[in-house]
Structure 1
Amino acid sequence: MKFTKLKMINYRPYYGTKEINLDIPNDQKPPYRKNIILFGGLNGAGKTTIFKAIRLALFARRGMKDKEYHEYLDGAINNLAFNEGVRSCSIALSLEDEQDQITLEFIMKFDEKKVLIGEERKLYVFNKKEQTEQESTLTNEEFNRFIDERIPLDASEFFLFDAEKIGEIIAKQGREHLKEPIQKIFALEAIKKLKPDLDSLRREILNKLKDAPKNEELENLTRDIQNYNNEIETLQRENQSLNERIQVLKSKKNLLNQERRRKIAQNTDSKISITKKLNDIETRINLINQQLNQFIEKDLLAILLAPSIKGLKDRLRYEKQLEKKRLEIKTRFDTYEQFMEQLIIELEKTLNPLLKMISVEQLKKAGRKSWAKINQIQNETIDQSEIIHDLSNRDYYKLIEYPVANSIDLKQLIEEKITLEEEKKKLEIKLENAPNPVDTTKEDEELAKIYHEIGEKTNKLTENKIRIKEILGELSSLKTKRSHTEEAYKDIEPLKKKIDYITRLQMATEEFIDELTKMKANRIQIEFKQILDKLFRKDQEFLRVEFDSEKYILKLYDRDNRLVQLEQRSEGEKQIIALSFIWALTKTAGFNLPFVIDTPLGRLDSIHRHNLVEHYFSKLSEQVIILSTDVEINKEHASLLEKYIQRKYILEHDPEQQCTDIKEGYFMF
């Protein structure tokens, strides 16, 4: 994988749009492969800004605490652009691997105080066939996974680093923080993920064997099925007894109801019953009287005028239809009338006496008949009655919608009143001879007891039926389980074979991981020792190197075969040891990632600087981006690296504008 381009828009000292070509051509020819992109800049010119821009494009806030993240990005927008009203800046990093050409864009938005208020990540994939770039829609988790598949965040400290601080790796030896990324580089993590999967599968099969049916389980299932069948028989017998009792109660209830109805029939003609009916009739008569008074006061005139109003409405509707019909006929002959009018004018102008002798009315009549025939207009006889009501549409509809009182309602009320008064007289006579009411309290009490007992028996019957239904469901489940249990006996042997296969596979995986780890550790020792001998001064050479494959600890021994206390070495020595360790990891892992190195020679003396320039950068990876000051990669070092440099850029800072420009070239020594 390689980086191909970095674009920054109004990011920190870089005003406007700055595009940097980082591409390393794939078709280079021997003897030298140009793998270095060299940036030169004085302190404060923006070298570290480029370093962090690449990291932000890849990982955004990942690996940074919120406070650290906001402290770095608050105010990250270029001052000149901000003063011009711009409120956002962005970074876009393009990279290419065997499968894809992609661009990662990181956009930052700020408020009026330059405080970061929003961020956005975008991913564009270049379609090689169509030669177009298309934005990919990914969730934040998918975005991170996409990047980690190419440059894992945990392992990024081995590829994107400030060389002045890289010695800190030595202090992290043996910690999980360092162990996990190294395992990712060696692809051991992916293999180790197989172990819990195998353990989980083994546990699952052991659980199946543990839960495999035994003869005792079959006996228990058979016993439970028999118990449920016995319970069903008991409930069914109880239900039969309940039904018989309910029938007896219903018969007794029917007899009591007959006796009660007989007594109530006697009460129908009692004084109480007749008095109630009289009260109802008198109430209705009073209501009718009120309605009749209302008719006399309000609706009498409307009833008397109803025939006249109806006749007026009928006449208005007729005149409306007649007027509409006449207008339709006139519309059909409008064109004809215009034609005839013009024709007669022309005839009157002619000098031909025969034409002047033609009767105008005859001509119009004959022409009208022909016109109707040509245009298929039927000859209709129109009523010539006079339209006597000249009304606007508003007045017409107002009259048509005027309500007409109905005299039938009044007639019905009078008839109902007469009928009720006659019935009242009959009831008054009947009231004088009516008997006293008969008491049905005894029957009512006995019926209440019967209804209560019927309800209890019915509820119990319903409960039993529900329980029988539940038992039948349980029985079905138990019978199915017993059937499956009987079948499961046949599956025990294959499960035992699977356990055997998994156990052997687990042992093989463990053995493979052990052997691979030992092989990688041995390779690290060899690569580490080789590069260390080239980078260190001769008087500082070490006798041997060990890499503990379990604790992931690097051990160096001096010429007297004594363990070297790495944490007590100088910062420059730690830097050389850490860079050598990164070299060994890279060569052992066997894959190629771009390196971005800031402050490459910061803590080193002249001899170590010379060794690092001569033996390290040109062979570290297929793409190495170096961000240096003029006192690090100086004239001598630049000359040594010249044949390996693909591109050179100089960062020129304008202190007045507080902006940096990027130009091709390097320091002029």
Structure 2
Amino acid sequence: MAKLTIESISIQNLGPFREQQTFDLSVHSERPVILIKALNGSGKTTLLNALQVGLYGYKAINPARRSDYEQFIASLQRTDATGIARIEMKLVVEIGSDRKDLNIRREWIQKDSGYRERFRVFESGVELLGVADEWDDFINGILPVELVHLFLFDGEKIEALANPNRLPALLKRATEVFLGLEGIDALNTDLKAVERRAGSAKTLRESTSEAQSQVDEYGNQLTELEQRISLLSQQKANAQSQLDSAQRKLDEYTVSAQQSGLNAYEQAASLKANVEFCKERKKHAQAAVVEALENPYLPLAWLGDLWVKYKDQWQKAQKTRHSHLLKEEFSKRDERVVNAITDPSVRSIVESVLSEDLARLQTDDENSPPLLEGGNPLEIEPLIDSAKVQLNLARQELDTAQTDLEKAQKQVDQIPAEEQISDILRKMQELAQKVSDAEKELRNIEKELDEAWSYHEHIESRLNTALQRMRSELKENTFQLKALEASDRAKRTLAIFRERLLASKAQWLSDMITKEFKQLLRKRNLISRVRVEPESYAVTIEDASGHDLPMERLSAGERQILAISVLSALIRERKGRFPVVVDTPLARLDRKHRESLIHNFFAKISHQVMVLSTDEEVEGSAYRAMSRHLNREYSLIFDETERRSIAKNNVAQLDLEHVV
């Protein structure tokens, strides 16, 4: 297996690099790390892209659409360039005991419309034309382009690999490439071709039958469809990546915009409607208070001591009325009794006794004027209490309505004016449009892919039918029939072998990812293992209790550590034969995770590791940890006046005794 080392890279007239900037990337086995520090916008990402483009050309950007690459290169061209744009790399390629020192150079020469790219390969100053023509096959033999993003990656975006919907496809495809399953697939395709050729030669003396013609036709159609499906699959992956990027930018900007008042602005109609509702509620509450005040019994609640005196007077008046009634009844009775007595002397005595009895019924208030009929306090008091309760409830509702109205009005007062957030709205609309365009592009590709698969199944079914018909015609030719049967057996055997090979590798991946994750993770008891399903390659995490731990429960830093653990397992499968480059790897990690990543990942993952960091990522304890593994250090200094970056070699700051 070939081993690739990047000895140096030079960049000129691309992005922030105007004059040629050369980075010596040679390393020693004891110290494989090269640190390149820069502020944002000073050229870290440009350097990462230059490494990818220098090795793989347009396929590093979008293998399915060359126009994306042309737009990308055009965006990096400088208007103040004094010469051609160029990326030049010195490479050491070791194949067994054979070593090749190569120089590769990509140049972009300006034309009337756009740029013309020129790629050349040199060895010992001599241009190798044959190698340049076959470079794509050569570099893909070392590391396929579809896996280059696993070795040269953006640390801030790598967390997206921890998405449970995307991770299985990545693991499975990477494993297929690492295991060389393209050879099995190619052999399977060759067997199909053998079947078609065998079927087309029924006999040398007979002309091609209708079934044979159909087999050839359907076979050609299947080949074209499989090529189209492969291309659409690559386009789908690129479209999904662009959609994820656009959605992430929109989400991040939305959070920032909401903090700037957008949330209140979007809810303006609802907030204003709430103010009107509160005003209407207050109006009804005021009407309820007025209605309560109009209760005829309510004023009696305000009489105080007068009401108490009224109740006493009313009781006395009742007694007086009762006395009058009794007196009248007793008088009638006494008159009947006296009239019934015939003896004058007895009548006189009885009449005297009865008069004295009536006199005792006389009350002190008998001569006071009685109150009007009705107005019983016992009947009125419940009505007074009810009126008081009604008034209190109405007042409480009025107070609540007033408070709610003040809160609602305060929220409305906080709504920013439209002109204050016009830029925010315009920016959000632009980002939302990009998401919409990306979704539309992805849907269109998925639709085309579904249609291609559906048509593929249809043609494959018709091909099988034609093959069966043709085989019935080939019974006269025993050799050809046996060849077809052997081809079928071989295809089935290859399919089983492919499936079992992938399944066996799933267990290895489970063990490797678990090992890497535990080494890098600060919380050592958070998980017990990471499991990769043999058939689907779906990834699940088991906690210390053996229960599934959803990835959503992991923090952003822990998801990044998981993604890096996956990459580490895949990269180690390549046995350190290709450089690893990481852009901004530590920004979202705490101190312990940073130090663990430095000692267990950067120091061990490959024979050559480049770390592109901001000026604050690798500082303090993180820098001290990395300095043990550091071979070289650069700083990118950006000149604001001339809008260009210069690479500064900080080798004097390193411990040179340990570098040698």
- TM-score, normalisation: structure 2: 0.51
2:582 corresponds, among 590, 597, 601, to 597
1:587 corresponds, among 565, 572, 578, to 572
Secondary structure at 1:524's aligned position in 2? helix
User: 1:490, 1:181 → 2: CA distance?
Assistant: 43
Decide whether the 8 Å contact of 2:108 with 2:118 is kept in 1. no
Decide whether the 8 Å contact of 1:106 with 1:120 is kept in 2. no
Shift of 1:647: 2.0
Decide whether the 8 Å contact of 2:174 with 2:570 is kept in 1. no
User: 2:76, 2:179 → 1: CA distance?
Assistant: 37
Partner of 2:11: 8
Decide whether the 8 Å contact of 1:59 with 1:153 is kept in 2. yes
Partner of 1:637: 622
Q: Which runs of 5+ in 2 are unaligned?
A: 207-472, 652-660
Structure 1 residue 18 corresponds to structure 2 residue 21? yes
Secondary structure at 1:62's aligned position in 2? coil
1:56 corresponds, among 49, 53, 58, to 53
Shift of 1:567: 4.9
Q: Structure 1 524/91 Cα, relative in aligned 2: closer, same or farther at 3 Å?
A: same
Decide whether the 8 Å contact of 1:154 with 1:180 is kept in 2. no
Task: Name the amino acid aligned to 1:96.
Answer: V
- CA offsets 1:231-288 (integer angstroms, 9 cap, x no match): xxxxxxxxxxxxxxxxxxxxxxxxxxxxxxxxxxxxxxxxxxxxxxxxxxxxxxxxxx
Partner of 2:76: 76
Q: Structure 1 10/517 Cα, relative in aligned 2: closer, same or farther at 3 Å?
A: same
Task: Name the amino acid aligned to 2:190.
Answer: D
Partner of 1:570: 555
Alignment of 1:196-345 (within 5 A): 196-205=189-198
1:96 corresponds, among 92, 95, 118, to 92
Alignment of 1:496-575 (within 5 A): 496-499=481-484, 501-538=486-523, 541-567=526-552, 569-575=554-560
Partner of 1:36: 33
Shift of 1:597: 0.6
Provide the alpha-carbon RMSD of the alignment. 3.6
Decide whether the 8 Å contact of 1:174 with 1:551 is kept in 2. no
Partner of 1:159: 151
User: 1:119, 1:567 → 2: CA distance?
Assistant: 46
Partner of 2:179: 186
Q: Structure 1 85/613 Cα, relative in aligned 2: closer, same or farther at 3 Å?
A: closer
Q: Structure 1 646/85 Cα, relative in aligned 2: closer, same or farther at 3 Å?
A: closer
Decide whether the 8 Å contact of 1:186 with 1:589 is kept in 2. no
User: 1:76, 1:490 → 2: CA distance?
Assistant: 65
Shift of 1:595: 1.0
User: 2:202, 2:589 → 1: CA distance?
Assistant: 65
Partner of 1:456: none
Decide whether the 8 Å contact of 1:104 with 1:124 is kept in 2. yes
- TM-score, normalisation: structure 1: 0.50
Shift of 1:605: 1.8
Task: Name the amino acid aligned to 1:510.
Answer: A
Shift of 1:65: 5.8
- CA offsets 1:46-78 (integer angstroms, 9 cap, x no match): 222211111221233534867754664445344
Partner of 2:644: 659
Secondary structure at 1:34's aligned position in 2? coil
Task: Name the amino acid aligned to 1:187.
Answer: G
User: 1:598, 1:150 → 2: CA distance?
Assistant: 22
User: 2:33, 2:116 → 1: CA distance?
Assistant: 31
Task: Name the amino acid aligned to 1:103.
Answer: N
Aligned residues: 375
Task: Name the amino acid aligned to 1:37.
Answer: I
Shift of 1:580: 0.3
Q: Structure 1 179/119 Cα, relative in aligned 2: closer, same or farther at 3 Å?
A: farther
Shift of 1:112: 10
User: 1:489, 1:46 → 2: CA distance?
Assistant: 66
Q: Structure 1 534/177 Cα, relative in aligned 2: closer, same or farther at 3 Å?
A: closer
Q: Which runs of 5+ in 1 are unaligned?
A: 25-30, 214-487
Secondary structure at 1:546's aligned position in 2? strand
Q: Structure 1 147/489 Cα, relative in aligned 2: closer, same or farther at 3 Å?
A: closer
Shift of 1:628: 1.1
Task: Name the amino acid aligned to 1:46.
Answer: G
Secondary structure at 2:535's aligned position in 1? coil
User: 1:76, 1:588 → 2: CA distance?
Assistant: 34
Q: Structure 1 533/212 Cα, relative in aligned 2: closer, same or farther at 3 Å?
A: farther
User: 1:603, 1:45 → 2: CA distance?
Assistant: 20
- CA offsets 1:124-171 (integer angstroms, 9 cap, x no match): 4444xxxx3333447998443333223322111111110110111233
Decide whether the 8 Å contact of 2:121 with 2:129 is kept in 1. no
Q: Structure 1 551/635 Cα, relative in aligned 2: closer, same or farther at 3 Å?
A: same
Shift of 1:208: 5.2
Secondary structure at 1:579's aligned position in 2? helix
- CA offsets 1:566-605 (integer angstroms, 9 cap, x no match): 2564332221111100111122344621111100112112
Structure number with greater Rg is 1
Decide whether the 8 Å contact of 2:178 with 2:574 is kept in 1. yes
